[in-house]
């Protein structure tokens, strides 16, 4: 599907989508808990649906309604090989690899689309150290394993992703004893804090002390859990207000004290000189005199696409560090941002760990056609940047936004003047 976005001012009020990160964690905890859990403000995006599918394959029952998801927990599996697809969700694949290892049966977790070429090399060594038989296809999906997972002490390299750390910590709460996970070079530590919060909501305990995470080994219990708003999706709307607003766009449905690393979009907007006013559950945002800014996105790499859209409207050069992590995402985002925004006349250069953007200031992004490369965040970034452009921008494969926010274009249309 091709989607065209034309220049427009933005105003009004938009509610952030539910956090798919919190949703998938809640589904996993509910699947491990005895009893029936109710998850409100649910995410129904493609990544969340992948988590529902894997939870059911491992023995839970998941019933979806418009306003809630009901999970009857209790992991179990019939003899034989359990095969489940994680779609294109990296969190689903890495998280459920550890959770599936609780079962004494053969499990194969498969990947689709770009996820099939993303690394899961961090999974096998840690699981094997805890008694699990595990293999991958040369460090790539599928992940094949057989438990049961034993409690104990294990070391994990967290430099590439915190997603497997999340799954391992969650699973060890059900392994029948106390455990310690020693994490080297933890990336995106805020997502591990989010993991702890969701675990506590379902009765399990884990805490971090420096590089070590201690898991108490207390089982999960059924709970009612409300999913918080997604700062990753909200970042695009906040940037839309900065590049194409007059100060009367509100983005709400967010938790100011969230552990989500992408809450740092507020810091980046302030650094660029955007007009920000804190309101209940969110921010009111406007453009102001935007200037090039420096920002370290090492712990929040999903912010690179909206940050490039923001930098396009700034006067001067913006420097974004942490770009080394972009090459293992849904696309090679460093290359995608450079090449696709280059088609619209924006100079974006990747060198080592840094992405530089030469802002257009009072100039305008050009009209044209870009490819999303099947990456939801590239599609969203192009759509938001186009609001402040000189003409329509057509986005190929624009439907990929359903991975995280199926209602993105509807939300964007609702605030366009």
CA–CA distance, 233 with 20 (Å, rounded to integer): 10
49/165 Cα distance (integer angstroms):
21
* DSSP-derived secondary structure letter, 253: S
Just list the catalytic residues.
302
Q: Looking at residue 116, what DSSP letter applies?
A: G
Cβ-count burial 63-100 (b if 16+ within 10 Å, e if not): eeeeeebebbbebebeeeebebbbbbbbbbbbbbbbbb
Residue written as tokens 């009367």?
A: 248
Q: Are 415 and 387 in contact (CB under 8 A)?
A: no
Write the burial class of residue 2 (CB in 10 Å: 0-12 exposed, 13-18 middle, 19+ buried): exposed
Q: Which of 236, 84, 283, 102 is nearest to 175 (CA)?
A: 102
Q: For residue 255, what are the CA distances in angstroms to 15, 42, 173, 324, 411?
A: 12, 16, 27, 29, 19
Helix/strand/coil percentages in the chain, nearest 5: 35, 30, 35
- For residue 374, list its beta bridge partners: none
With 0-12 CB in 10 A as exposed, 13-18 as middle and 19+ as buried, what is 50?
Answer: buried
> Which helix or strand (DSSP H or E) is residue 26 part of?
helix 20-32
C-alpha R_g of the chain: 21
The C-alpha atoms of residue 398 and residue 401 are separated, in whole angstroms, by 7
State the sign of the Cα–Cα–Cα–Cα dihedral 5, 300, 47, 71: negative
Q: How far apart are CA 140 and CA 220, in angstroms?
A: 31
Inter-residue contact 285 to 312 (CB < 8 Å)? no
Pairing of strands 294-296, 317-321: parallel
């Amino acid at each position: 599907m091709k989607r065209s976005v034309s220049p427009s001012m933005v105003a009004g009020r938009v509610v952030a989508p539910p956090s798919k990160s919190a949703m998938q964690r809640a589904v996993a905890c509910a699947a491990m808990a005895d009893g029936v859990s109710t998850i409100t403000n649910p995410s129904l995006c493609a990544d969340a649906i992948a988590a529902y599918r894997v939870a059911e394959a491992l023995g839970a029952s998941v019933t979806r309604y418009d306003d809630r998801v009901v999970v009857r927990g209790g992991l179990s599996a019939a003899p034989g090989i359990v095969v489940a697809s994680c779609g294109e969700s990296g969190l689903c694949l890495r998280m459920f690899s550890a959770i599936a290892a609780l079962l004494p049966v053969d499990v194969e977790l498969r990947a689709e689309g770009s996820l099939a070429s993303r690394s899961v090399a961090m999974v096998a060594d840690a699981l094997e150290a805890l008694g699990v038989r595990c293999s991958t296809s040369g460090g790539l999906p599928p992940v094949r394993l057989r438990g049961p997972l034993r409690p104990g002490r294990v070391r994990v390299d967290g430099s590439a992703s915190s997603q497997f750390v999340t799954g391992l910590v969650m699973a060890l709460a059900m392994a029948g004893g106390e455990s310690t996970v020693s994490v080297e070079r933890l990336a995106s530590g805020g997502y591990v804090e989010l993991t702890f919060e969701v675990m506590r909501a379902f009765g399990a305990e884990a805490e971090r002390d420096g590089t070590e995470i201690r898991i108490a080994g207390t089982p999960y219990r059924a709970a009612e859990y409300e999913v918080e708003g997604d700062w990753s999706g909200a970042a695009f709307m906040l940037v839309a207000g900065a590049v194409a607003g007059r100060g009367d766009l509100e983005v709400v449905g967010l938790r100011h004290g969230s552990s989500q690393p992408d809450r740092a979009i507020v810091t980046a907007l302030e650094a660029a000189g955007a007009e920000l006013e804190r309101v209940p559950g969110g921010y009111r945002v406007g453009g102001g005199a935007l200037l090039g800014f420096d920002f370290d996105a090492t712990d929040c790499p999903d912010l690179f696409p909206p940050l490039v859209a923001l930098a396009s409207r700034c006067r001067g050069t913006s420097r974004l560090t942490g770009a080394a992590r972009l090459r293992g995402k849904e696309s090679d985002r460093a290359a995608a941002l450079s090449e696709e925004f280059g088609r619209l006349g924006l100079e974006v250069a990747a060198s080592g760990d840094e992405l530089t953007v030469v802002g257009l200031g009072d100039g305008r992004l050009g009209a044209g056609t870009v490819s999303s490369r099947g990456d939801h965040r590239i599609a969203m970034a192009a759509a938001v940047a186009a609001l402040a452009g000189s003409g329509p921008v057509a986005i190929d494969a624009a439907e990929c936004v359903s991975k995280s926010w199926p209602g993105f274009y509807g939300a964007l249309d609702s605030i366009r003047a």
